[in-house]
Structure 1
């Protein structure tokens, strides 16, 4: 029982974070071949530094979090529209330890 209480507490906290207008944002999710779906996302627009031999490459990345409850199975090639900008999911999405949130890498469509 204690484990389910912990998961419910995490789920409630995740819902609050995504609902917060300062953190979460509205977006439209398009599964490949599917109908558009209004979702909430948390943007993580961090830069990435990659080592390549002796060089270090800097690249701007766009990464977002999606709730598993809203998007149960995101796939590479699915689209996300945020504030009129359209992105494609690239690479395999990763779920958090509690299996409540997907983190996906995006590239401009």
Structure 2
């Protein structure tokens, strides 16, 4: 029997909330679909607050088994380099990756 979580994610990544991307680990580039989020991060600084734009990519683990810092993701918005160690979600079905524009 198919894992209902994996089936649901497959449907999610085929839908309009996901975008086409190319993932490049330095040895090979391959097409995948990702969910690209751009949340603002708020940081306190002295008596004020700094708001910084960030880029997060959610990638299915079945597409990229072991992403690492320095790998590249290219989407319509540009090319981004993974900037921190990727983290898995609670079901270990997808990666959450922080990235910086190249």
Name the TM-score, length of structure 2 as normaliser. Answer: 0.93
Structure 1 residue runs of 5 or longer lacking an equivalent are none
Report which of the two has the higher share of helix: 1
Pick closer, same or farther for the CA change 1:94–1:34 going to 2, 3 Å: same
Displacement of 1:93 in angstroms is: 0.5
| 1:13-28 pair list within 5 angstroms | 13-20=8-15, 22-28=16-22
Q: Deviations over 1:5-63 (max 9, x none)?
A: 6x81111111100000x1111100000x2111100001111111112343321001111
**Alignment partner of 1:99 is 2:71:** no
RMSD: 1.5
Count of matched residue pairs: 102
Stretch deviating more after TM superposition (53-62 or 77-86): 53-62
Alignment partner, residue 44 of structure 2: 51
Residue matched to 2:23: 29
